[in-house]
Amino acid sequence: MHPSVASSLPGPQTLEEVQFFNGNNYHKGLDWYMGFFPTPPNASADFLFEKSSSYFHSEDAPKRAASLVPKAKIITILIDPSDRAYSWYQHQRSHGDPAALRFDFHAVVTTGPEAPPGSEAAASPRTEAQRSKAAAPAGRAPVNKPPRPLARRQ
């Protein structure tokens, strides 16, 4: 990352998304939020950033961000919804979500709203005919084992 840019750090409850502007964390105050941006005395970061995927559909986030940081630059990155679903699934697996660890991506996306992943009903995914209608994004094969770690960009 460029030396003038610094990202928020993950926390035990927040993982890598602080979720400050859209939920109850906002009421913890600005000092709590800034605790996710510790900068050593010799740091030269001119720009701080954090990301939270749920800011996009939050009604509170834009108002709160504008009131606290009126000159902030907001960047929205849109990705294909199927890629987003696959990313969410991998995120859940990496954080030990029981349903994501128990079921492959194909089973999770074909289970349906009446049987949320992790519930007893989800333990019996739909019939093969129903499951075959879903596919992993961009022609990827459904995941049946833990993902390999991703390489970090330099």
Show which of 43, 68, 93 is a domain's final residue: 68
3-state DSSP call for residue 99?
helix
pTM recorded for the entire structure? 0.56
Q: Is 7 annotated as belonging to a binding site?
A: no
Count of structural domains, the chain: 2
The model's pLDDT over 96-149, given as tens digits with 9 standing for 90+, comes to 888 888 888 888 877 766 555 554 444 444 444 344 444 445 555 554 444 444
The Cα 135–Cα 96 span in angstroms is 23
Over residues 37-60, mean pLDDT: 77
The pLDDT assigned to 28 comes to 92
Over residues 6-29, mean pLDDT: 80
Within a domain: residue 73? no
Give the CA distances from residue 111 to residues 27, 99, 145, 147, in Å, rounded to whole numbers and listed in that order: 36, 11, 18, 21
Within a domain: residue 149? no
Residue 18, pLDDT > 70, answer: yes
Judge if 24 and 46 occupy the same domain. Answer: yes
The pLDDT assigned to 53 comes to 78
Q: Classify burial at 105, counting beta carbons within 10 Å of its beta carbon; exposed 0-12, middle 13-18, buried 19 or more.
A: buried
